[in-house]
């Protein structure tokens, strides 16, 4: 894979991703979403960027402040990126926290709390955001806030619990997001516990969620990794598993641990097999372990983010292994996603298509779709495609 045509292909890809990030996605959100009156980001936007709802999701505040701060640190010191991150962090500090120190899920435009959830993902994304701010500014307050929020997230037990302890189950989400947050904080604030936290999370995924005998990464298992028969136990979320796959590959890359790269590739292989739609293309949302009907009627939709995560995972797998099957996989999901999701008229990606490629809702954001998966994929893709174009294939990053 050193012929000129292939190099040219990845040079072009890197440029597609760079422009998608810097000339399309980020400008869309900065222009339409940034709240110059109250601070932070409004994400409930229609196709053309007009506002559908002014409420602010706290996840999306943290995610946006993270990507803006990370771009400032990793790409270019543009003051408007740091300003956007700081506006959002000020909003979070003023309005994101309940009196018990836990974070809300949804607040009004001016910051009055609407909803708090049992889970602590608001804390996870905010931790990443404060970490980038500490790196950008050297602020010790942001650094200690990032560490405190990581602890709040990692040590959190939902209260009140949603389920009784009659059939205890655990979700892949917890260890998976712990990897991502710890990796982010290692990069931004040199978080001392990162390696240990990540090793524990990957060990849990490999021990309890990955099932080599059946070629599957589970979404929900019993406390000791038991398969649980029933709708929840059989439920597979291929995009989610594949997101975890590239977190593991990245860790293997950074620390030179081939077994982490192999674990990530295994999960990608298995969940591509189970999640890719051979009829219409794209990664399906939910699958059943045994091919039985899903209890979720929207199981066969095509959401934006599983495509984003699969683009990153397949591209990274190709860079790290040099295996041509991952280049083919990447081309397949890239061509599918870039042929369907970007809005040629108003920019940014649509979020929700039916299985056959018919658009479900044309909005660009809500409390769940904000400025996160699309720009993160563009940034990762830009970086990885550039490395491949430079000939760094099948080797650890220098």
Q: List the structure tokens of 368.
A: 């769940």
* Whether the Cβ atoms of residue 220 and residue 228 lie closer than 8 Å to each other: yes
Helix axes 324-340, 258-275, angle to 10 degrees: 50
CB of 162: closest distance to its own copies in angstroms?
7
CA nearest 37: which of 99, 96, 90? Answer: 90
Give one DSSP letter per residue of 310-364, joined into a string: HHHHHHHHHHHH--HHHHHHHHHHHHHHHHHSB-TTT-SB--EE-TTS-EEE--S
CB burial readout 308-324, b (16+ within 10 A) else e:
bbbbbbbbbbbbbbeee
* DSSP designation for 34: B
Report 43-62 residues binding its own copies (CB under 8 A).
44, 46-47, 52-55
What is the DSSP-derived secondary structure letter of residue 97?
Answer: B
Q: Segment near its own copies (CB under 8 A), from 42-50, 129-137, 178-186, 250-258?
A: 42-50
CB atoms within 10 A of CB 167: 11
Q: Name which of 75 and 289 has its Cβ closer to its own copies.
A: 289
Q: Which is nearer to its own copies, 73 or 237 (CB)?
A: 237
Q: By C-beta, is 66 or 119 nearer to its own copies?
A: 119
Which is nearer to its own copies, 235 or 267 (by Cβ)?
235
Tell me which residues in 84-113 interact with its own copies (CB under 8 A). 108, 112-113
Scored b (16 or more CB within 10 A) or e, 279-293 reads eebbbbbbbbbeeee
Positions 110 through 169 that interact with its own copies (CB under 8 A):
112-116, 160, 162-164, 166-167
Q: Are the beta carbons of 274 and 216 closer than 8 angstroms? A: yes
Only one of the segments 9-17, 249-257, 292-300, 382-390 lies at the binding site for its own copies (rule: CB under 8 A); that segment is: 292-300
Our CB check for its own copies shows the closer of 43 and 73 to be 43
Beta strands at 216-217 and 210-211: parallel, antiparallel or unpaired: antiparallel
Nearest distance from C-beta of residue 163 to its own copies, angstroms: 5
Residue 230 binds its own copies (CB under 8 A): yes
**What residues numbered 295-354 form the site for its own copies, per CB under 8 A?**
295-301, 303, 351-352, 354
* Nearer Cβ to its own copies (143/369): 369
Q: How far is the CB of 117 from its own copies (least distance, A)?
A: 9
DSSP state of 276: B
Window contacting its own copies (CB under 8 A); options: 146-154, 238-246, 260-268, 291-299 = 291-299
> Residue 173 or 363: which CB sits closer to its own copies?
363
In angstroms, rounded to a whole number, what is the distance separating the alpha carbons of residues 339 and 191?
A: 39
**How many of the chain's residues bind its own copies (CB under 8 A)?**
45
- Using CB under 8 A, list all residues that contact its own copies: 44, 46-47, 52-55, 108, 112-116, 160, 162-164, 166-167, 229-231, 292-301, 303, 351-352, 354-356, 358, 360-363, 366-367
């Amino acid at each position: 894979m050193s012929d000129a045509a292939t190099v040219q292909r990845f040079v072009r890809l890197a440029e597609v991703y760079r422009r998608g990030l810097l000339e399309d996605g980020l400008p869309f959100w900065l222009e339409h979403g940034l709240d110059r009156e109250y601070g932070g980001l409004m994400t409930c936007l229609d196709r053309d960027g007009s506002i559908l709802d002014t409420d602010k999701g706290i996840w999306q505040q943290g995610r946006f402040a993270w990507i803006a701060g990370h771009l400032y640190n990793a790409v270019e010191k543009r003051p408007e990126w740091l300003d956007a991150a700081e506006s959002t962090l000020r909003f979070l500090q003023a309005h994101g926290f309940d009196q018990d120190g836990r974070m809300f899920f949804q607040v009004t435009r001016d910051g009055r709390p609407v909803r708090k959830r049992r889970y602590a993902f608001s804390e996870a994304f905010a931790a990443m955001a404060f970490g980038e701010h500490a790196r950008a500014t050297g602020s010790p307050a942001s650094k200690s806030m990032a560490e405190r929020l990581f602890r709040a997230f990692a040590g959190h037990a939902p209260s009140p619990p949603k389920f009784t302890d009659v059939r205890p189950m655990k979700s892949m989400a917890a260890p998976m997001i712990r990897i991502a947050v710890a990796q982010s904080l290692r990069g931004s604030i040199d978080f001392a516990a990162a390696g240990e936290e990540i090793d524990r999370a990957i060990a849990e995924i490999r021990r309890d969620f990955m099932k080599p005998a059946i070629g599957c990464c589970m979404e929900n298992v019993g406390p000791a990794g038991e398969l649980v028969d029933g709708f929840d136990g059989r439920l597979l979320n291929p995009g989610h598993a594949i997101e975890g796959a590239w977190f593991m590959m990245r860790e293997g890359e950074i620390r030179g641990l081939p077994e982490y790269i192999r674990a990530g590739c295994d999960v990608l292989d298995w969940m591509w097999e189970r999640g890719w739609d051979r009829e219409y293309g794209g990664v399906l949302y939910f699958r059943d372990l045994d091919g039985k009907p899903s209890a979720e009627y929207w199981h066969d939709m095509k959401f934006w983010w599983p495509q984003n995560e699969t683009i990153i995972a397949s591209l990274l797998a190709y860079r790290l292994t040099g295996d041509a099957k991952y280049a083919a996989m990447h081309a397949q999901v890239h061509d599918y996603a870039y042929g369907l999701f970007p809005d040629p008229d108003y920019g940014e990606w649509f979020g929700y298509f039916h299985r056959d490629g018919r658009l479900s809702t044309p909005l660009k954001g809500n409390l769940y779709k904000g400025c996160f998966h699309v720009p993160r994929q563009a940034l990762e893709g830009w970086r990885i495609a550039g490395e491949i174009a430079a000939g760094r294939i099948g080797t650890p990053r220098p």
